[in-house]
Protein backbone atom coordinates (compact mmCIF):
# COMPACT_ATOMS: atom_id res chain seq x y z
CA UNK A 1 0.00 0.00 0.00
CA UNK A 2 1.22 3.47 -0.73
CA UNK A 3 2.25 4.91 2.58
CA UNK A 4 0.72 8.27 1.85
CA UNK A 5 -2.60 6.64 1.13
CA UNK A 6 -2.37 4.46 4.18
CA UNK A 7 -1.74 7.26 6.56
CA UNK A 8 -3.38 10.12 4.74
CA UNK A 9 -0.37 12.36 5.17
CA UNK A 10 0.65 13.38 1.64
CA UNK A 11 1.41 16.91 2.73
CA UNK A 12 4.57 15.77 4.46
CA UNK A 13 6.04 14.89 1.08
CA UNK A 14 8.10 11.79 0.39
CA UNK A 15 11.28 11.44 -1.59
CA UNK A 16 10.89 9.06 -4.49
CA UNK A 17 13.36 6.68 -2.94
CA UNK A 18 11.81 3.24 -2.75
CA UNK A 19 13.26 2.67 0.68
CA UNK A 20 11.56 5.63 2.15
CA UNK A 21 8.36 4.93 0.31
CA UNK A 22 8.49 1.49 1.73
CA UNK A 23 9.32 2.48 5.24
CA UNK A 24 6.77 5.21 5.55
CA UNK A 25 8.87 6.79 8.25
CA UNK A 26 7.98 10.37 7.67
CA UNK A 27 4.32 9.68 8.03
CA UNK A 28 4.36 6.89 10.52
CA UNK A 29 4.32 9.00 13.60
CA UNK A 30 2.20 11.60 11.99
CA UNK A 31 -0.55 9.23 11.09
CA UNK A 32 -3.80 10.66 9.91
CA UNK A 33 -5.00 10.97 13.45
CA UNK A 34 -1.84 12.64 14.57
CA UNK A 35 -1.95 15.12 11.72
CA UNK A 36 -5.47 16.14 12.44
CA UNK A 37 -4.74 16.50 16.10
CA UNK A 38 -1.57 18.31 15.32
CA UNK A 39 -3.43 21.00 13.45
CA UNK A 40 -5.66 21.46 16.45
CA UNK A 41 -2.91 21.64 18.98
CA UNK A 42 0.16 23.11 17.33
CA UNK A 43 0.01 26.21 19.40
CA UNK A 44 2.20 24.32 21.83
CA UNK A 45 5.77 25.41 21.62
CA UNK A 46 7.70 23.08 19.35
CA UNK A 47 11.40 23.25 19.81
CA UNK A 48 13.92 22.25 17.21
CA UNK A 49 14.64 18.56 16.70
CA UNK A 50 18.20 19.35 17.68
CA UNK A 51 19.23 21.13 20.83
CA UNK A 52 17.17 21.06 23.95
CA UNK A 53 14.04 19.13 24.52
CA UNK A 54 13.34 16.73 21.64
CA UNK A 55 10.50 19.08 20.81
CA UNK A 56 8.69 18.70 24.13
CA UNK A 57 8.83 20.54 27.43
CA UNK A 58 8.47 17.08 28.97
CA UNK A 59 11.91 16.11 27.73
CA UNK A 60 15.13 16.87 29.56
CA UNK A 61 17.25 15.26 26.86
CA UNK A 62 19.92 17.13 24.96
CA UNK A 63 21.12 16.43 21.44
CA UNK A 64 24.88 16.25 21.05
CA UNK A 65 25.01 15.13 17.40
CA UNK A 66 22.40 14.61 14.72
CA UNK A 67 23.11 10.88 14.62
CA UNK A 68 23.04 10.26 18.34
CA UNK A 69 19.99 9.64 20.49
CA UNK A 70 19.40 12.70 22.70
CA UNK A 71 20.25 11.92 26.32
CA UNK A 72 19.64 13.53 29.68
CA UNK A 73 22.86 15.00 31.08
CA UNK A 74 23.62 14.01 34.67
CA UNK A 75 27.16 15.43 35.00
CA UNK A 76 27.62 14.56 38.68
CA UNK A 77 26.79 10.86 38.40
CA UNK A 78 28.66 10.59 35.10
CA UNK A 79 31.84 11.97 36.66
CA UNK A 80 31.45 9.78 39.73
CA UNK A 81 31.00 6.63 37.65
CA UNK A 82 33.87 7.44 35.31
CA UNK A 83 36.10 7.65 38.39
CA UNK A 84 34.57 4.51 39.91
CA UNK A 85 35.17 2.49 36.74
CA UNK A 86 38.70 3.84 36.27
CA UNK A 87 39.51 2.86 39.86
CA UNK A 88 38.12 -0.62 39.20
CA UNK A 89 40.32 -1.12 36.14
CA UNK A 90 43.31 0.08 38.16
CA UNK A 91 42.45 -2.33 40.98
CA UNK A 92 41.96 -5.40 38.77
CA UNK A 93 44.39 -4.46 36.02
CA UNK A 94 41.81 -5.53 33.47
CA UNK A 95 38.72 -4.29 31.74
CA UNK A 96 35.58 -5.90 33.19
CA UNK A 97 34.14 -9.13 31.85
CA UNK A 98 30.64 -8.87 30.47
CA UNK A 99 27.96 -11.56 30.73
CA UNK A 100 24.56 -11.05 29.15
CA UNK A 101 21.92 -13.61 30.09
CA UNK A 102 18.97 -13.49 27.71
CA UNK A 103 15.88 -15.63 28.26
CA UNK A 104 13.54 -16.20 25.33
CA UNK A 105 9.95 -15.00 25.79
CA UNK A 106 9.99 -14.82 29.58
CA UNK A 107 7.22 -12.51 30.76
CA UNK A 108 7.68 -9.50 32.99
CA UNK A 109 5.63 -11.27 35.65
CA UNK A 110 7.45 -14.62 35.59
CA UNK A 111 10.36 -14.07 38.02
CA UNK A 112 9.53 -13.92 41.69
CA UNK A 113 11.23 -10.55 42.05
CA UNK A 114 8.74 -9.16 39.52
CA UNK A 115 5.71 -10.55 41.34
CA UNK A 116 5.66 -14.05 39.85
CA UNK A 117 7.87 -16.93 40.98
CA UNK A 118 6.38 -19.24 43.57
CA UNK A 119 3.15 -17.25 43.52
CA UNK A 120 2.54 -18.52 39.99
CA UNK A 121 3.93 -22.01 40.28
CA UNK A 122 7.61 -21.62 39.42
CA UNK A 123 9.98 -20.23 42.04
CA UNK A 124 13.01 -18.30 40.77
CA UNK A 125 15.30 -17.91 43.80
CA UNK A 126 18.46 -17.32 41.76
CA UNK A 127 17.01 -14.59 39.57
CA UNK A 128 15.48 -13.08 42.69
CA UNK A 129 18.86 -13.10 44.40
CA UNK A 130 20.43 -11.38 41.40
CA UNK A 131 17.83 -8.63 41.74
CA UNK A 132 18.25 -8.44 45.49
CA UNK A 133 22.00 -8.03 45.19
CA UNK A 134 21.87 -5.87 42.11
CA UNK A 135 19.68 -3.32 40.36
CA UNK A 136 16.15 -4.31 39.41
CA UNK A 137 14.76 -2.29 36.54
CA UNK A 138 11.00 -2.02 36.44
CA UNK A 139 10.80 -0.10 33.16
CA UNK A 140 13.16 -2.10 30.99
CA UNK A 141 12.14 -2.32 27.34
CA UNK A 142 12.81 -4.81 24.57
CA UNK A 143 11.55 -4.93 21.02
CA UNK A 144 8.33 -6.87 20.47
CA UNK A 145 9.88 -10.08 19.08
CA UNK A 146 13.13 -12.06 19.08
CA UNK A 147 15.16 -11.04 16.03
CA UNK A 148 14.52 -7.31 16.48
CA UNK A 149 15.69 -7.35 20.12
CA UNK A 150 18.67 -9.58 19.51
CA UNK A 151 19.93 -7.47 16.62
CA UNK A 152 19.19 -4.18 18.38
CA UNK A 153 21.29 -5.00 21.43
CA UNK A 154 24.19 -6.05 19.21
CA UNK A 155 24.06 -2.98 16.95
CA UNK A 156 22.77 -0.29 19.29
CA UNK A 157 20.25 0.55 16.61
CA UNK A 158 16.52 0.19 16.25
CA UNK A 159 15.55 -2.77 14.06
CA UNK A 160 13.96 -0.46 11.52
CA UNK A 161 17.37 1.11 10.87
CA UNK A 162 19.13 -2.24 10.26
CA UNK A 163 16.19 -3.86 8.47
CA UNK A 164 15.93 -6.68 11.04
CA UNK A 165 12.37 -5.75 11.85
CA UNK A 166 10.85 -9.17 12.45
CA UNK A 167 11.91 -12.76 13.09
CA UNK A 168 13.62 -14.45 10.16
CA UNK A 169 11.56 -17.53 9.35
CA UNK A 170 11.72 -20.60 7.15
CA UNK A 171 11.66 -19.59 3.49
CA UNK A 172 12.71 -15.98 4.07
CA UNK A 173 15.18 -14.80 1.46
CA UNK A 174 16.95 -11.64 2.49
CA UNK A 175 17.84 -9.23 -0.29
CA UNK A 176 20.99 -7.98 1.42
CA UNK A 177 23.03 -8.67 4.51
CA UNK A 178 21.75 -6.40 7.30
CA UNK A 179 25.10 -6.62 9.07
CA UNK A 180 26.90 -4.88 6.23
CA UNK A 181 28.03 -1.50 7.51
CA UNK A 182 27.07 -2.27 11.11
CA UNK A 183 29.67 -2.42 13.86
CA UNK A 184 28.49 -5.22 16.10
CA UNK A 185 28.98 -5.42 19.86
CA UNK A 186 31.40 -8.37 19.60
CA UNK A 187 33.37 -6.52 16.91
CA UNK A 188 33.68 -3.47 19.15
CA UNK A 189 34.62 -5.53 22.18
CA UNK A 190 36.90 -7.80 20.17
CA UNK A 191 38.83 -4.75 18.98
CA UNK A 192 39.07 -3.69 22.61
CA UNK A 193 40.82 -6.94 23.49
CA UNK A 194 37.88 -9.06 24.56
CA UNK A 195 37.32 -12.72 23.79
CA UNK A 196 33.73 -12.99 22.58
CA UNK A 197 31.29 -15.88 22.70
CA UNK A 198 27.63 -16.36 21.97
CA UNK A 199 26.08 -19.48 23.50
CA UNK A 200 22.56 -20.62 22.70
CA UNK A 201 19.89 -19.22 20.49
CA UNK A 202 20.88 -16.87 17.68
CA UNK A 203 17.83 -16.20 15.49
CA UNK A 204 19.39 -13.46 13.41
CA UNK A 205 20.01 -15.50 10.28
CA UNK A 206 21.98 -18.62 9.47
CA UNK A 207 23.36 -17.90 6.01
CA UNK A 208 27.09 -17.33 5.66
CA UNK A 209 27.80 -13.73 6.57
CA UNK A 210 25.02 -13.56 9.13
CA UNK A 211 26.07 -16.20 11.63
CA UNK A 212 27.37 -15.11 15.05
CA UNK A 213 30.92 -16.10 14.15
CA UNK A 214 30.63 -14.05 10.92
CA UNK A 215 29.54 -10.85 12.61
CA UNK A 216 32.24 -10.54 15.22
CA UNK A 217 31.95 -13.34 17.78
CA UNK A 218 35.11 -15.40 18.19
CA UNK A 219 32.98 -18.42 18.93
CA UNK A 220 29.39 -19.58 18.68
CA UNK A 221 27.95 -22.62 20.37
CA UNK A 222 24.23 -22.94 19.88
CA UNK A 223 21.27 -23.13 17.55
CA UNK A 224 20.36 -20.72 14.79
CA UNK A 225 16.55 -20.73 15.13
CA UNK A 226 14.03 -20.65 17.97
CA UNK A 227 13.05 -23.71 19.99
CA UNK A 228 9.80 -24.46 18.20
CA UNK A 229 11.36 -24.19 14.76
CA UNK A 230 13.52 -27.14 15.76
CA UNK A 231 11.18 -29.22 17.89
CA UNK A 232 8.46 -29.20 15.24
CA UNK A 233 10.40 -31.76 13.17
CA UNK A 234 10.10 -34.32 15.92
CA UNK A 235 6.87 -33.48 17.70
CA UNK A 236 4.25 -35.73 16.20
CA UNK A 237 1.75 -34.95 18.92
CA UNK A 238 1.62 -31.26 18.09
CA UNK A 239 2.45 -31.40 14.39
CA UNK A 240 1.19 -34.77 13.10
CA UNK A 241 0.37 -33.35 9.68
CA UNK A 242 4.06 -32.57 9.26
CA UNK A 243 5.91 -35.24 11.20
CA UNK A 244 3.76 -38.21 10.12
CA UNK A 245 3.84 -37.24 6.47
CA UNK A 246 7.34 -38.24 5.25
CA UNK A 247 7.07 -36.55 1.84
CA UNK A 248 5.87 -33.31 3.34
CA UNK A 249 8.49 -33.45 6.06
CA UNK A 250 11.25 -34.03 3.50
CA UNK A 251 10.05 -31.05 1.46
CA UNK A 252 9.84 -28.88 4.54
CA UNK A 253 13.32 -29.83 5.72
CA UNK A 254 14.73 -28.32 2.52
CA UNK A 255 13.61 -24.83 3.50
CA UNK A 256 13.53 -25.20 7.27
CA UNK A 257 16.13 -23.75 9.62
CA UNK A 258 18.95 -25.88 10.91
CA UNK A 259 18.19 -28.28 13.76
CA UNK A 260 21.86 -28.76 14.55
CA UNK A 261 23.88 -27.68 17.50
CA UNK A 262 26.50 -25.54 15.82
CA UNK A 263 30.02 -24.78 16.96
CA UNK A 264 31.30 -21.91 14.89
CA UNK A 265 34.58 -20.04 14.95
CA UNK A 266 35.57 -16.63 13.64
CA UNK A 267 37.02 -17.17 10.20
CA UNK A 268 34.21 -19.45 9.14
CA UNK A 269 34.98 -22.90 10.57
CA UNK A 270 31.59 -24.37 11.43
CA UNK A 271 30.97 -27.76 13.02
CA UNK A 272 27.64 -29.51 13.36
CA UNK A 273 28.11 -30.98 16.83
CA UNK A 274 24.82 -32.86 17.03
CA UNK A 275 21.25 -32.65 15.90
CA UNK A 276 17.90 -32.64 17.63
CA UNK A 277 16.32 -35.98 16.83
CA UNK A 278 13.83 -36.24 19.65
CA UNK A 279 11.88 -34.14 22.06
CA UNK A 280 14.25 -35.32 24.75
CA UNK A 281 17.19 -33.87 22.79
CA UNK A 282 15.35 -30.58 22.67
CA UNK A 283 14.44 -30.72 26.34
CA UNK A 284 18.08 -31.24 27.30
CA UNK A 285 19.49 -28.55 25.00
CA UNK A 286 19.69 -25.82 27.60
CA UNK A 287 21.59 -28.03 30.00
CA UNK A 288 24.20 -28.66 27.30
CA UNK A 289 24.40 -24.95 26.48
CA UNK A 290 24.66 -23.92 30.13
CA UNK A 291 27.42 -26.48 30.71
CA UNK A 292 29.32 -24.98 27.80
CA UNK A 293 29.01 -21.43 29.14
CA UNK A 294 30.15 -22.53 32.61
CA UNK A 295 33.17 -24.25 31.12
CA UNK A 296 34.02 -21.16 29.07
CA UNK A 297 33.67 -18.84 32.08
CA UNK A 298 36.20 -21.01 33.92
CA UNK A 299 38.53 -21.18 30.95
CA UNK A 300 38.35 -17.53 29.85
CA UNK A 301 38.33 -16.26 33.42
CA UNK A 302 41.83 -17.65 33.87
CA UNK A 303 43.17 -15.82 30.82
CA UNK A 304 44.66 -12.37 30.45
CA UNK A 305 41.90 -11.06 28.25
CA UNK A 306 38.47 -9.97 29.46
CA UNK A 307 35.49 -11.87 28.05
CA UNK A 308 32.12 -10.98 26.61
CA UNK A 309 29.68 -13.86 26.79
CA UNK A 310 26.12 -13.57 25.56
CA UNK A 311 24.24 -16.59 26.86
CA UNK A 312 20.89 -16.95 25.14
CA UNK A 313 18.60 -19.63 26.52
CA UNK A 314 16.48 -21.59 24.06
CA UNK A 315 13.88 -21.76 26.82
CA UNK A 316 11.28 -20.59 27.66
CA UNK A 317 10.20 -20.06 24.06
CA UNK A 318 7.47 -22.44 23.01
CA UNK A 319 7.27 -25.35 22.56
CA UNK A 320 8.45 -26.19 26.03
CA UNK A 321 9.48 -29.69 27.07
CA UNK A 322 10.80 -30.34 30.53
CA UNK A 323 14.36 -31.53 30.90
CA UNK A 324 13.80 -35.20 31.91
CA UNK A 325 16.10 -34.71 34.89
CA UNK A 326 13.98 -31.82 36.10
CA UNK A 327 10.49 -32.85 35.06
CA UNK A 328 7.91 -31.73 37.60
CA UNK A 329 10.40 -29.54 39.43
CA UNK A 330 7.98 -26.62 39.49
CA UNK A 331 4.94 -26.48 41.73
CA UNK A 332 2.85 -26.03 38.60
CA UNK A 333 4.25 -29.14 36.84
CA UNK A 334 3.55 -27.54 33.47
CA UNK A 335 6.52 -27.76 31.07
CA UNK A 336 6.73 -23.96 30.73
CA UNK A 337 7.00 -23.60 34.49
CA UNK A 338 9.49 -26.45 34.83
CA UNK A 339 11.58 -24.63 32.28
CA UNK A 340 11.38 -21.34 34.16
CA UNK A 341 12.80 -23.27 37.10
CA UNK A 342 15.50 -24.77 34.92
CA UNK A 343 16.52 -21.36 33.54
CA UNK A 344 16.69 -20.08 37.10
CA UNK A 345 18.93 -22.97 38.13
CA UNK A 346 21.31 -22.21 35.27
CA UNK A 347 21.40 -18.53 36.20
CA UNK A 348 22.37 -19.58 39.73
CA UNK A 349 25.02 -21.92 38.35
CA UNK A 350 26.59 -19.15 36.24
CA UNK A 351 26.81 -16.92 39.29
CA UNK A 352 28.32 -19.74 41.33
CA UNK A 353 31.02 -20.33 38.72
CA UNK A 354 31.80 -16.60 38.60
CA UNK A 355 32.14 -16.67 42.37
CA UNK A 356 34.29 -19.80 42.45
CA UNK A 357 36.59 -18.34 39.84
CA UNK A 358 36.93 -15.07 41.73
CA UNK A 359 35.32 -13.15 38.89
CA UNK A 360 32.25 -11.69 40.56
CA UNK A 361 33.78 -8.32 41.33
CA UNK A 362 35.08 -7.88 37.81
CA UNK A 363 32.11 -9.04 35.77
CA UNK A 364 29.13 -6.97 34.68
CA UNK A 365 26.12 -9.25 34.46
CA UNK A 366 22.87 -8.23 32.80
CA UNK A 367 19.81 -10.47 32.86
CA UNK A 368 16.79 -9.88 30.63
CA UNK A 369 14.09 -11.41 28.48
CA UNK A 370 14.08 -10.60 24.76
CA UNK A 371 10.35 -9.78 24.63
CA UNK A 372 7.08 -10.38 26.43
CA UNK A 373 5.34 -13.74 26.76
CA UNK A 374 4.06 -15.41 23.61
CA UNK A 375 0.44 -15.69 24.59
CA UNK A 376 -0.42 -17.32 21.27
CA UNK A 377 1.07 -20.50 22.74
CA UNK A 378 -0.82 -20.34 26.04
CA UNK A 379 -0.73 -22.23 28.37
CA UNK A 380 2.79 -22.82 27.11
CA UNK A 381 3.53 -19.17 27.82
CA UNK A 382 4.74 -16.75 30.43
CA UNK A 383 2.92 -14.12 32.40
CA UNK A 384 2.73 -10.37 32.13
CA UNK A 385 0.60 -8.13 34.29
CA UNK A 386 0.39 -5.69 31.40
CA UNK A 387 -1.83 -5.39 28.35
CA UNK A 388 -0.82 -7.24 25.22
CA UNK A 389 1.96 -9.76 24.74
CA UNK A 390 4.82 -10.62 22.42
CA UNK A 391 4.08 -9.21 18.97
CA UNK A 392 2.53 -5.99 20.25
CA UNK A 393 3.93 -2.71 21.46
CA UNK A 394 1.61 -2.58 24.40
CA UNK A 395 3.55 -2.94 27.63
CA UNK A 396 2.98 -6.70 27.72
CA UNK A 397 4.99 -7.10 24.53
CA UNK A 398 7.96 -4.90 25.32
CA UNK A 399 8.32 -4.37 29.06
CA UNK A 400 10.59 -7.11 30.35
CA UNK A 401 12.59 -8.11 33.41
CA UNK A 402 15.98 -6.39 33.43
CA UNK A 403 18.56 -6.85 36.18
CA UNK A 404 22.05 -5.35 36.37
CA UNK A 405 24.53 -7.01 38.69
CA UNK A 406 28.16 -6.28 39.45
CA UNK A 407 29.49 -7.03 42.89
CA UNK A 408 31.03 -3.96 44.44
CA UNK A 409 29.89 -1.68 41.62
CA UNK A 410 26.11 -1.95 41.45
CA UNK A 411 24.64 -1.07 44.82
CA UNK A 412 22.76 -4.13 46.15
CA UNK A 413 19.03 -3.83 46.49
CA UNK A 414 18.62 -0.95 44.10
CA UNK A 415 15.40 -0.65 42.16
CA UNK A 416 14.60 1.93 39.52
CA UNK A 417 11.59 2.75 37.41
CA UNK A 418 13.62 4.99 35.10
CA UNK A 419 13.43 3.72 31.55
CA UNK A 420 16.11 1.50 30.09
CA UNK A 421 16.06 0.24 26.52
CA UNK A 422 17.88 -3.07 26.08
CA UNK A 423 19.68 -1.58 23.09
CA UNK A 424 21.40 0.74 25.59
CA UNK A 425 23.55 -2.26 26.48
CA UNK A 426 25.54 -1.56 23.32
CA UNK A 427 26.84 1.89 24.26
CA UNK A 428 27.03 0.96 27.92
CA UNK A 429 29.35 -1.96 27.21
CA UNK A 430 31.33 0.06 24.68
CA UNK A 431 31.98 2.55 27.49
CA UNK A 432 33.02 -0.26 29.83
CA UNK A 433 35.51 -1.44 27.26
CA UNK A 434 36.72 2.10 26.55
CA UNK A 435 35.81 2.03 22.86
CA UNK A 436 33.00 4.54 22.49
CA UNK A 437 35.12 6.25 19.82
CA UNK A 438 34.68 3.13 17.66
CA UNK A 439 30.91 3.46 17.59
CA UNK A 440 30.08 4.26 13.96
CA UNK A 441 30.07 7.94 13.09
CA UNK A 442 28.20 7.51 9.81
CA UNK A 443 25.15 5.78 11.26
CA UNK A 444 22.34 6.86 13.55
CA UNK A 445 22.90 5.19 16.92
CA UNK A 446 19.86 4.84 19.18
CA UNK A 447 21.79 3.36 22.08
CA UNK A 448 22.68 5.51 25.08
CA UNK A 449 25.59 4.93 27.46
CA UNK A 450 23.86 4.07 30.72
CA UNK A 451 26.91 3.29 32.84
CA UNK A 452 26.16 6.20 35.16
CA UNK A 453 22.55 5.05 35.59
CA UNK A 454 23.48 1.47 36.40
CA UNK A 455 26.64 2.00 38.43
CA UNK A 456 26.04 5.16 40.46
CA UNK A 457 24.38 4.34 43.77
CA UNK A 458 21.63 6.84 43.03
CA UNK A 459 21.95 6.79 39.24
CA UNK A 460 19.22 8.15 37.04
CA UNK A 461 18.54 7.03 33.49
CA UNK A 462 19.96 9.12 30.69
CA UNK A 463 17.17 7.95 28.40
CA UNK A 464 14.07 10.09 28.11
CA UNK A 465 12.13 8.30 25.41
CA UNK A 466 11.60 4.68 24.39
CA UNK A 467 10.46 4.32 20.77
CA UNK A 468 8.36 1.33 19.84
CA UNK A 469 8.15 -0.05 16.34
CA UNK A 470 6.11 -2.85 14.87
CA UNK A 471 7.88 -3.92 11.71
CA UNK A 472 8.51 -0.78 9.72
CA UNK A 473 5.74 1.08 11.47
CA UNK A 474 6.32 3.46 14.35
CA UNK A 475 3.51 2.53 16.69
CA UNK A 476 4.16 4.04 20.12
CA UNK A 477 6.51 5.81 22.45
CA UNK A 478 7.02 6.18 26.17
CA UNK A 479 8.22 9.40 27.77
CA UNK A 480 8.23 9.62 31.56
CA UNK A 481 5.05 7.88 32.73
CA UNK A 482 3.22 8.58 29.49
CA UNK A 483 2.71 6.15 26.66
CA UNK A 484 1.36 7.32 23.34
CA UNK A 485 0.15 4.96 20.62
CA UNK A 486 -0.26 5.95 16.97
CA UNK A 487 -1.05 2.40 15.93
CA UNK A 488 -2.18 -0.57 17.97
CA UNK A 489 -2.08 -4.33 17.52
CA UNK A 490 -5.51 -5.69 18.33
CA UNK A 491 -6.17 -9.45 18.53
CA UNK A 492 -9.34 -10.79 16.96
CA UNK A 493 -9.36 -13.66 19.42
CA UNK A 494 -8.21 -13.55 23.04
CA UNK A 495 -4.46 -14.10 23.37
CA UNK A 496 -3.77 -14.41 19.63
CA UNK A 497 -1.62 -11.29 19.42
CA UNK A 498 0.53 -12.75 16.64
CA UNK A 499 -1.58 -15.36 14.92
CA UNK A 500 -4.84 -13.46 14.62
CA UNK A 501 -4.35 -9.76 15.07
CA UNK A 502 -4.44 -6.61 13.01
CA UNK A 503 -2.43 -3.43 13.18
CA UNK A 504 -4.81 -0.54 13.36
CA UNK A 505 -4.29 3.15 13.02
CA UNK A 506 -5.86 4.99 15.93
CA UNK A 507 -8.73 7.40 15.34
CA UNK A 508 -8.87 11.14 15.75
CA UNK A 509 -6.59 11.19 18.76
CA UNK A 510 -3.56 9.06 19.56
CA UNK A 511 -4.09 6.73 22.49
CA UNK A 512 -2.39 8.33 25.46
CA UNK A 513 -2.06 6.41 28.73
CA UNK A 514 -0.56 7.39 32.04
CA UNK A 515 1.25 4.21 33.03
CA UNK A 516 1.39 5.21 36.69
CA UNK A 517 -2.37 5.34 37.07
CA UNK A 518 -3.23 2.94 34.24
CA UNK A 519 -0.40 0.41 33.84
CA UNK A 520 -2.65 -1.92 31.86
CA UNK A 521 -3.28 0.78 29.19
CA UNK A 522 -7.03 0.36 29.43
CA UNK A 523 -8.46 3.85 29.22
CA UNK A 524 -6.85 6.75 27.44
CA UNK A 525 -6.43 10.09 29.13
CA UNK A 526 -8.23 11.56 26.16
CA UNK A 527 -9.65 15.03 26.51
CA UNK A 528 -9.93 14.80 30.27
CA UNK A 529 -6.26 14.90 31.19
CA UNK A 530 -4.38 15.47 27.99
CA UNK A 531 -2.14 18.41 28.78
CA UNK A 532 0.90 16.72 27.28
CA UNK A 533 -0.69 15.26 24.18
CA UNK A 534 0.63 17.65 21.56
CA UNK A 535 4.08 17.94 23.03
CA UNK A 536 4.46 14.17 23.05
CA UNK A 537 3.55 14.22 19.36
CA UNK A 538 6.47 16.59 18.86
CA UNK A 539 8.79 13.97 20.34
CA UNK A 540 7.56 11.53 17.71
CA UNK A 541 8.18 14.09 15.00
CA UNK A 542 11.75 14.66 16.16
CA UNK A 543 12.31 10.90 16.05
CA UNK A 544 10.99 10.53 12.53
CA UNK A 545 13.23 13.39 11.41
CA UNK A 546 16.27 11.24 12.20
CA UNK A 547 15.33 8.91 9.35
CA UNK A 548 15.53 11.63 6.76
CA UNK A 549 19.28 12.12 7.03
CA UNK A 550 19.98 8.51 7.98
CA UNK A 551 17.72 6.36 5.81
CA UNK A 552 16.88 2.91 7.17
CA UNK A 553 17.63 -0.34 5.42
CA UNK A 554 15.18 -2.73 3.84
CA UNK A 555 16.75 -6.18 3.70
CA UNK A 556 13.66 -7.95 2.44
CA UNK A 557 11.76 -8.43 5.70
CA UNK A 558 9.50 -5.41 5.36
CA UNK A 559 6.54 -7.34 4.00
Residues at the contact surface with Ca ion, assessed by CB under 5 A = 104-105, 146, 370-371
Q: Classify strands 399-405 and 195-201 as parallel, antiparallel or unpaired.
A: unpaired
Q: Measured from the CB of residue 105, what is the shortest distance to Ca ion in angstroms? A: 4
Give the three-class secondary structure for 62.
strand
In the complex, minimum distance from the CB of residue 409 to Ca ion, in angstroms, rounded to a whole number: 29
Q: Which is nearer to Ca ion, 313 or 405 (CB)?
A: 313
Closest approach of Cβ 280 to Ca ion, in Å? 23
Q: How far is the CB of 162 from Ca ion (least distance, A)?
A: 17
DSSP-assigned letter for residue 117: G
* Closest residue by beta carbon to Ca ion: 146
For the CB of residue 279, give the shortest distance to Ca ion in the complex, in Å. 20
> 270-275 and 487-491 as β-strands: parallel, antiparallel, unpaired?
unpaired
Where are the strands (E) in 449-529, listed by range? 465-470, 473-479, 482-485, 487-491, 501-505, 511-514
- Whichever of 97 and 142 has its CB closer to Ca ion, that residue is 142
CB of 104 to Ca ion, least distance (A): 4
| Closer by beta carbon to Ca ion, 104 or else 344 | 104
Helix (H, G, I), strand (E, B) or coil at 130: helix
Least distance (Å) between residue 59 CB and Ca ion: 30
Nearest to 78 by CA among 480, 449, 463: 449
Specify the residue, 105 or 376, whose C-beta has the smaller distance to Ca ion. 105
> Among residues 370 and 449, whose Cβ is nearest to Ca ion?
370
Q: Which is nearer to Ca ion, 229 or 544 (CB)?
A: 229
- Return the number of the residue (192 or 226) whose C-beta is nearest Ca ion: 226
Q: Which of 204, 201, 205, 161 is nearest to 181 (CA)?
A: 161
Q: What is the dihedral of CA 210, 216, 218, 220, to 10 degrees?
A: -30
Which pairs with CB-CB distance under 8 Å and at least 24 residues apart come from 81-89?
81/451, 81/452, 81/455, 81/456, 81/459, 82/452, 84/409, 84/455, 84/456, 85/409, 85/432, 85/451, 85/455, 88/362, 88/408, 88/409
Q: Compare residues 105 and 281 and give the one whose CB is closer to Ca ion.
A: 105
Provide the phi-psi class of 556: left if phi over 0, else alpha when psi is between -120 and 50, else beta. Answer: left
Question: CB of 70: closest distance to Ca ion in angstroms?
Answer: 29
How far CA 338 is from CA of 49, 131, 328, 332, 558, in Å, comes to 49, 21, 6, 8, 36
Amino acid sequence: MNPGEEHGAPSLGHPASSLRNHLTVSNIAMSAAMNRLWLLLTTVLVLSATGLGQGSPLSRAVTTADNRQPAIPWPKQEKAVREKLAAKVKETGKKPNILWIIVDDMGYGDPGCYGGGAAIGAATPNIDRLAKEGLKLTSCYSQHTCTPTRSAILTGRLPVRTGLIRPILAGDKLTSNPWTGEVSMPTLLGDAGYTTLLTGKWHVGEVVGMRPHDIGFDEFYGYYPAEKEISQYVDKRRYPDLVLNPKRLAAFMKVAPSHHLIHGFKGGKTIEVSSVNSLEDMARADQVLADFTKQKIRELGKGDKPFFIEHCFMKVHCDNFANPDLEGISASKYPFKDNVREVDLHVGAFMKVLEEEGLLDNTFVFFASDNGPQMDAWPDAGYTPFRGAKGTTFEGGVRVPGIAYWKGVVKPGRESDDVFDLLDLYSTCAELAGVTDKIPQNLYVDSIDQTSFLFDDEGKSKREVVYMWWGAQFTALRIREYKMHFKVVIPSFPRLYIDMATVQTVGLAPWLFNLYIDPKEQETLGHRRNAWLASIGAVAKAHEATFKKYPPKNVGLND
